[in-house]
Amino acid sequence: MNASKPIIRTWKLHKSFGSHQVLQEVNLNIPEASICAVIGQSGTGKSVLFKTIIGMIPPDGGQVWFKDTELTALPPDKLMAMRKSFGYAFQNAALFDSMTVEENLAFPLKEVLRLKDREAIRKRVSELLTWIELPDIGAKRPDALSGGMRKRVGVARALILRPEVIFFDEPTTGLDPVLSETINNLAVRVRRELGVTCVMITHDIPGAFRIADTIAFLDQGRIIAEGSPAAVARSEHPLVQAFIRISFVDKGVLSL
């Protein structure tokens, strides 16, 4: 991993909804081919930060950079083209229940890439289903799958266009600890085997500390701690300390 070279960078990113300042001058650096976990309390601006980075929500101020391109300076058509470099697996995986898993995965290939070659589409879909270790579910509908399987299909769909960065918004929320571990391990494989940068909003603090290269702690639209898990764990900010205590010390994982 080249820690000095961010693949995504935000500079003084600002977003308000009416008088509610949700993002306040957020400076975030995500190193290429890394796993970055974004943590913080509910309602603190994590999802808005993601949506602003990928261009779903226009910021009021500041910049978003993807490698050497300032996304916030692009006209809409160029931004749309650039968004193909990003995959997203959002909380409610948003799979179409009226389509089979195979059709769900084929959808972006047909609609975004305008691929017509059925055999090539089938091959790409089957390759990814094998990669997520669910090779036989192509003909099933998402509502016939377990929660953990749906999440993995959501990850496969986020990967189908071969993005350079994948954004996960709370991929483990609502899953039991064993399934959460499966999804965390999938993120590790996405980074290691595919070289794709993973940016992950998560409430699974032990999981984040285990798999992430960098952690950004967001509070009320500001980053209050950022860096390696060890550096964030050493932060003296009371809220960071409270998160560490509740997630590790009170569970007996660490003694202080």
Tell whether residue 147 is a contact of ligand ADP (CB under 6 A). no
> Taking CB within 5 to 8 Å according to partner kind, which of Mg ion, ligand ADP, none is near residue 151?
none
Of 169 and 213, nearer to ligand ADP (C-beta) is 169
To the nearest whole angstrom, how small is the minimum distance from the Cβ of residue 86 to ligand ADP?
A: 17
Stretch touching ligand ADP by CB under 6 A, among 5-13, 44-52, 109-117, 190-198: 44-52
Residue whose beta carbon is closest to Mg ion: 47
Task: Give me the sign of the Cα torsion angle 50, 54, 57, 59.
Answer: positive
In the chain, the N- to C-terminal Cα span, in Å, equals 31
Q: 89: number of CA atoms within 13 Å, CB side?
A: 30
- Measured N-to-C along each axis, helices 147-159 and 101-111 cross at an angle, to the nearest 10 degrees, of 20
Of 40 and 207, nearer to ligand ADP (C-beta) is 40
Of 47 and 247, nearer to Mg ion (C-beta) is 47
To the nearest whole angstrom, how small is the minimum distance from the Cβ of residue 57 to Mg ion?
A: 13
Stretch touching ligand ADP by CB under 6 A, among 38-46, 177-185, 209-217, 239-247: 38-46
Tell whether residue 43 is a contact of ligand ADP (CB under 6 A). yes
Which of 47, 104, 172, 197 forms a contact with Mg ion (CB under 5 A)? 47
To the nearest whole angstrom, how small is the minimum distance from the Cβ of residue 52 to ligand ADP?
A: 9
> Taking CB within 5 to 8 Å according to partner kind, which of ligand ADP, Mg ion, none is near residue 22?
ligand ADP
Tell whether residue 46 is a contact of ligand ADP (CB under 6 A). yes
Which of 8, 13, 22, 101 forms a contact with ligand ADP (CB under 6 A)? 22
Tell whether residue 4 is a contact of ligand ADP (CB under 6 A). no
Q: Which residues contact 238 (CB under 8 A, 6 or more apart)?
A: none
Tell whether residue 44 is a contact of Mg ion (CB under 5 A). no
Tell whether residue 47 is a contact of ligand ADP (CB under 6 A). yes
Phi, psi of 249 (to 5 degrees): -70, -50
Applying CB under 6 A, the residues found at the interface with ligand ADP are 17, 22, 40, 42-48
Applying CB under 5 A, the residues found at the interface with Mg ion are 47
